[in-house]
Structure 1
């Protein structure tokens, strides 16, 4: 009966502590088929060395009275209905009553008493008291089964890790290896996380890689936290090539937005810009870009890669749907420019007008003038470009003169057009082109009723 009790409570509460361990022990951040051997051949530092394999331990019997009381304890830490809430406080009260008469208990009964105390405090997440009672149970050795001693050591090692005592965790787990024949993948992972907490990244990397390889050998998918730890360790070593391998596994098995963002970063470190942008786009599609800076960065990258339509979609959604991007002149101008490059001059003009509203930036005003011209609004183009020319900070006066000249020419205002093309020709950067336009305007001016077949010069 007691053996059955031990089996039930160890299974239930071991799962409980392992979940806590997974949550707290790691401090952190197109499916690809790969062979786990890509990480290279490694040998885990930790090995099993069962020195207790043939040890025989005669144990005293557990009395029926003690067994009945333990059964009552289990009602509160292992209820028959799995949906029932635990009540470790009640279990501790019952165990305390047994402890008051501990002089009447034999050595094995003391082991069981302290062990269940440990599990009850563990259920309360009182790790210090849990560790104390597990140690009391271990202190009764050799008056407990070898397998039970190994199990208590394994749980105690994890308790120390969750309680941020990695040195005690390592010492305990090293004792545990003396009781086992084989290491399992999750146990190598446990050692890896202990070494990581101790700052021993080399041993952490060796052991987490062994855990991953062993799990793959078992035809199972390694835990997400294992790949995360392996990836972070490679990145800390600036080994981006191997970090990329583990990150590809993460996005293949656990395709979360944040892993695609990390993948984009790693590709960037490796100067693989197209793949970096592709990964960042997937991250965006999965909702992983949530700040203005991130969205603007993606937009700039898309425009650099000659994908202005995609950039415009990102900007428009960020500005008007999600309202993450501030509708300031710079951001509105970026949207307008992306729309212009995407050959959507009508919508581009709308955004330029919003951006230039109440603005005194001559560069922005000049862009608005060009947008008016592209949309056939020649009067507005001429007027707006003249406004830009009045600003003292305009960088390319020649460009503004061109816009006015072209806008006036489109309205057959030949003299006005000549005036501004001549002004543009005074800038050496535009002299040749401006003279072509002057020649063309003069020919057009001389025409009477017949349309000239002369080709228009290329517009600046």
Structure 2
């Protein structure tokens, strides 16, 4: 199985309104931690923050930043909480300008202040984790999340567990990622909710990286059950094959085909191969016939050969003849003519077998030419043309791979010819 890609889920910080920021600030101004008292935000500072935010919200971000710069110019007069809120406003404005580096730098200044509300420290650390993940700085993300979790007194939500799982996965810490994503799924189940599709995909990816194919298969079963997509059916079939459950592999693949989930040429070929593997060649033949007739797969030499061999394996040799003829028309050698000769011989069409074998020899490119001489010899023998038969077997004796059988046939033909001549003499 190929390695599955994980789409990173990052909760977007968003660009907040003046009202939301200021109301949040006012709510935090009275908050105290266990060891540090948070100083109040003075009205003149609050007014400047509100003005900066309002200007930025109206579309003039540069002027909004200029207002913050004017506050920063008097930074020595600000208390710790006011400084933290200044960095916080800078952070949001830089984020709105897609300047992640400056956003992160300013949010780091927020948490560097000591006398700030715990809720501000928590939300800022979480935002720093999200921004670091956006920049694919996964180890840094883990460090922010670790600091955040150390002071967080609330149980993690499912989405927060997912964030942990995603960053652990990206940092190649697959067992930790698996633990986090499975806790998110448990929380969803506890609330009678369905685990989100991308959660299951992440769970599957972790099991894959940890080399646990049976667990991968279980997750694929859930994806098929809850999010029935064509690719999930095909992947589940592949996983059943990987863990040795071939009957389920075929059953799932066949169901996917019946539901119209199989349309790609390679998937059709895979299903045909599964039919052959499970000794139902007639289904393989009919599948390939339909696919070729509808244009789902190209009628090239490879596919026609598969179709013909499926018919032959299903003891439907007559149906293989037009397929082999079509393949012979486009082939550059006599390989399909040679196969036709064998089919004609098996069907007791002696002259057709001779003609096809002769054509194969003339066109060349046949791996086992000795077999063609054997076919010609057998066909002539059945036509009671003993001399022609013996000449063909003589040719076969000159080829190592067919010499032993040719000698046996030569003795047999000579004996039969002798007996016939003796009968004629008595008459």
Could you state the TM-score of these two structures normalised by the residue count of structure 2?
0.71
Aligned counterparts, 1:14-163, within 5 A: 57-63=38-44, 65-66=47-48, 68-70=50-52, 72-73=54-55, 75=57, 90-103=60-73, 106-107=78-79, 108-143=81-116, 145-163=117-135
Q: Which runs of 5+ in 2 are unaligned?
A: 1-15, 26-31, 397-401
Q: 1:168 aligns with which of 127, 133, 140?
A: 140
The alpha carbon displacement at 1:67 in A equals 5.4
The alpha carbon displacement at 1:225 in A equals 2.6
User: Relative to structure 1, is the Cα distance of residues 398 and 146 closer, same or farther in structure 2, using a 3 angstrom cutoff?
Assistant: same
C-alpha deviations, 1:41-77, integer Å up to 9, x for none? xxxxxxxxxx95797634324546335425525635x
- Tell me which protein shows more helix as a share of its residues: 2
User: Relative to structure 1, is the Cα distance of residues 395 and 415 closer, same or farther in structure 2, using a 3 angstrom cutoff?
Assistant: closer
The alpha carbon displacement at 1:309 in A equals 4.4
Q: 2:189 aligns with which of 206, 216, 225?
A: 216
| Partner SS state of residue 228, structure 2 | coil
Aligned length: 379
Q: 2:202 aligns with which of 225, 229, 233?
A: 229
Please identify, of 216-225 and 152-161, the stretch whose mean Cα deviation from structure 2 is larger: 216-225
Please identify, of 175-184 and 121-130, the stretch whose mean Cα deviation from structure 2 is larger: 121-130
User: Relative to structure 1, is the Cα distance of residues 176 and 385 closer, same or farther in structure 2, using a 3 angstrom cutoff?
Assistant: same
The alpha carbon displacement at 1:163 in A equals 0.8
Give me the whole-angstrom Cα distance separating, in 2, the residues matched to 1:356 and 1:182.
71
User: Relative to structure 1, is the Cα distance of residues 73 and 303 closer, same or farther in structure 2, using a 3 angstrom cutoff?
Assistant: farther
User: Relative to structure 1, is the Cα distance of residues 53 and 117 closer, same or farther in structure 2, using a 3 angstrom cutoff?
Assistant: same
Which residue number corresponds to residue 240 of structure 2? 267
| Partner SS state of residue 248, structure 2 | helix
User: Relative to structure 1, is the Cα distance of residues 399 and 93 closer, same or farther in structure 2, using a 3 angstrom cutoff?
Assistant: farther
Aligned counterparts, 1:167-186, within 5 A: 167-177=139-149, 178-186=151-159
Which residue number corresponds to residue 404 of structure 1? 379
Answer whether contact 1:9 1:74 (CA < 8 A) is retained.
no
User: Relative to structure 1, is the Cα distance of residues 151 and 310 closer, same or farther in structure 2, using a 3 angstrom cutoff?
Assistant: farther
Give me the whole-angstrom Cα distance separating, in 1, the residues matched to 2:254 and 2:43.
65
| Partner SS state of residue 415, structure 1 | coil
C-alpha deviations, 1:310-346, integer Å up to 9, x for none? 4345545665655654x44232221223345557666
Answer whether contact 2:338 2:372 (CA < 8 A) is retained.
no
C-alpha deviations, 1:13-64, integer Å up to 9, x for none? xxxxxxxxxxxxxxxxxxxxxxxxxxxxxxxxxxxxxx95797634324546
C-alpha deviations, 1:170-202, integer Å up to 9, x for none? 111111111332111221222222222333222
Give me the whole-angstrom Cα distance separating, in 2, the residues matched to 1:59 and 1:376.
104
| Partner SS state of residue 235, structure 2 | helix
The alpha carbon displacement at 1:131 in A equals 1.0
Please give the root-mean-square deviation of Cα atoms over the aligned residues, in Å.
Answer: 4.5
Give me the whole-angstrom Cα distance separating, in 2, the residues matched to 1:386 and 1:229.
60
Is the counterpart of residue 394 in structure 1 residue 369 in structure 2?
A: yes
Answer whether contact 2:301 2:330 (CA < 8 A) is retained.
no
Q: 1:311 aligns with which of 256, 264, 284?
A: 284
Q: 1:415 aligns with which of 371, 375, 384?
A: 384
| Partner SS state of residue 221, structure 1 | coil
C-alpha deviations, 1:240-269, integer Å up to 9, x for none? 222222222222222333333332332222
| Partner SS state of residue 41, structure 2 | coil
Answer whether contact 2:18 2:53 (CA < 8 A) is retained.
no
Is the counterpart of residue 348 in structure 1 residue 317 in structure 2?
A: no
User: Relative to structure 1, is the Cα distance of residues 9 and 242 closer, same or farther in structure 2, using a 3 angstrom cutoff?
Assistant: farther
Which residue number corresponds to residue 20 of structure 1? none
Give me the whole-angstrom Cα distance separating, in 1, the residues matched to 2:192 and 2:323.
55
The structure showing larger relative contact order (alpha-carbon pairs under 8 Å, at least 6 residues apart) is 1
Is the counterpart of residue 196 in structure 1 residue 169 in structure 2?
A: yes
Which residue number corresponds to residue 5 of structure 1? 20
Which residue number corresponds to residue 33 of structure 1? none
Give me the whole-angstrom Cα distance separating, in 2, the residues matched to 1:71 and 1:256.
46
